[in-house]
Amino acid sequence: TISILDQNTLTNVGTINGLLAGPDDMELTPDKRYLWVTFRFTRYVGVIDMKTHKLVNTIKVGKSPHGIYFYNRAPLI
């Protein structure tokens, strides 16, 4: 699972279930609509729709994907 935290209070405001094993590194698109996640144990990168909290796409990648970075990404607080 992935816990969704409020950036100001760091309280849990939601949970994303039904994912592949080993969710690790994450990056949010600039519009905050999609969360890209590496799944280290399954050799995939996934795309989660943040409106529905559902995994909408997976991309097969190499062994143990670790790290994901968007130059154009959601702003931090």
Res. 67: pLDDT tops 90: no
Averaged pLDDT for residues 58-77:
85
What b/e readout covers 56-74, taking b as 16+ CB neighbours within 10 angstroms?
eebeeeeeebeeeeeeeee
What is the pTM (predicted TM-score) of this model? 0.87
Q: Which among 32, 37, 33 has a CA at the least distance from the CA of 47?
A: 37
What confidence tens digit (pLDDT) does each residue in 29-60 have?
Answer: 999 999 999 999 999 999 999 999 999 999 99
Q: Tell me, what's the pLDDT at 10?
A: 94
Domain residue spans of the chain = 21-70
